[in-house]
Amino acid sequence: MTHARITGTGSYLPEKVLTNFDLEKFVDTSDQWIRERTGIEKRHVAIEGQSTVDLAERAARNAIDSAGIKPQDIDLIVVATTTPDRIFPSTACLLQSRLDVHGCPAFDIQAVCTGFVYALGVAEKFIKSGSSRRALVVGAETLSRLLNWNDRSTCVLFGDGAGAVVLEASEEPGILSTHLHADGDYEALLRVPYGVSQGFEAMDEVNSKIEMRGNEVFKMAVNTLGRIVDETLAANELEKTDIDWLVPHQANIRIIQATARKLKMPMERVVVTVQEHGNTSAASVPLALDTAVRDGRIQRGELLLLEAFGGGFTWGSALLRY
């Protein structure tokens, strides 16, 4: 049986950093409030002219190098993003051109913060069905473009970044299962209300930015992530103690801690990078994965549980043997 296995990881954070102390200068907030409620210490922000595909390309090249292949070996490109460079072509097509890859399928996935887990699930199915042998799966965002800097309840939470993996057909086990879900009834809790089908004249400074009812999102995220952990373990007939590493969506340290408690996992086995970059939406899971692979925490053969929750609502998980 053909498996889909991660053979390379990469990530990229823009050089420009905004610390909580920087935010104190123009937002009615404090380092202490942000740190205590979210665990975030700073976020990276794309400078003017720097776009999602710029970040995606850096992460993708890092992942391709670490897999020891050439861009031209890639036969599928999936980019998860909520902040595409253009209405069209897709960011995946723009990335394909940057990488000088031609002809293979390339498309974007929009599942907000669950985007990377969705993209991984889709690419895995391409590989298992024999349609692809080497997929580039990217999560990339310039979420700072969607922030209302007058809304302190959202603008302190998000940042920009990109993460990527190369997923290859292999005889050795890799991804064991993916679990993807959505419920469109929760739009009012987390959204950007403007969309192009309303016509550009309907767009203004406020409706084109993130709106969130943070407290309600928080409770939904904790409950939903708890359920998806149970679903993933049950589908694989595994116990909580079998998981070596939890690689969660990096939105809020308190949500991450709640999921770790549910798994009875000590925080030493949970990859936490939220303090470095805030919530980077679709980029956050591959950013965390790449960080822990590169610093040597995650080792080949270990069992990883990736999970995410985001706008839609969408939520999902991937269990994999690294």
Q: Which residues make up the interface to ligand COA (CB under 6 A)?
A: 29, 33-34, 37-38, 113, 152-153, 156, 212, 214-215, 217-218, 221, 251-252, 279, 309-310
> Shortest approach of ligand COA to residue 223 CB, angstroms?
12
Which amino acid is it at 11? S
Measured CA to CA, the distance from residue 91 to residue 54 in angstroms comes to 10
Contact between residue 167 and residue 137 where contact means Cβ atoms under 8 Å apart: yes
> Shortest approach of ligand COA to residue 294 CB, angstroms?
25
**Is residue 279 flagged as an active site residue?**
yes
Nearer to ligand COA, 254 or 297 (CB): 254
Which amino acid is it at 125? K
Provide the H-helix boundaries in 130-213.
152-155
> Shortest approach of ligand COA to residue 306 CB, angstroms?
14
Please identify the residue of the shown chain whose CB is closest to the bound ligand COA.
214
Torsion sign, CA atoms 27, 33, 37, 38: positive
Nearer to ligand COA, 116 or 309 (CB): 309
- Which of 3, 44, 179, 249 is an active site residue? 249
Nearer to ligand COA, 6 or 251 (CB): 251
**Is residue 249 flagged as an active site residue?**
yes
- Which of 113, 179, 252, 277 is an active site residue? 113
> Shortest approach of ligand COA to residue 46 CB, angstroms?
19
Residues near 5 by Cβ (< 8 Å), separated by ≥ 6?
167, 168, 169, 170, 172, 173, 174, 175, 321
Size of the chain, expressed as the number of residues it contains: 322
Nearer to ligand COA, 8 or 311 (CB): 311
**Is residue 3 flagged as an active site residue?**
no
Task: Provide the 3-class DSSP secondary structure of residue 194.
Answer: coil
Contact between residue 137 and residue 318 where contact means Cβ atoms under 8 Å apart: no
CB-based burial label for 129 (10 Å; 0-12, 13-18, 19+) = exposed
Measured CA to CA, the distance from residue 78 to residue 80 in angstroms comes to 7
> Shortest approach of ligand COA to residue 261 CB, angstroms?
16
Residue the block writes with tokens 């720097």: 50
- Residues serving a catalytic function are 113, 249, 279
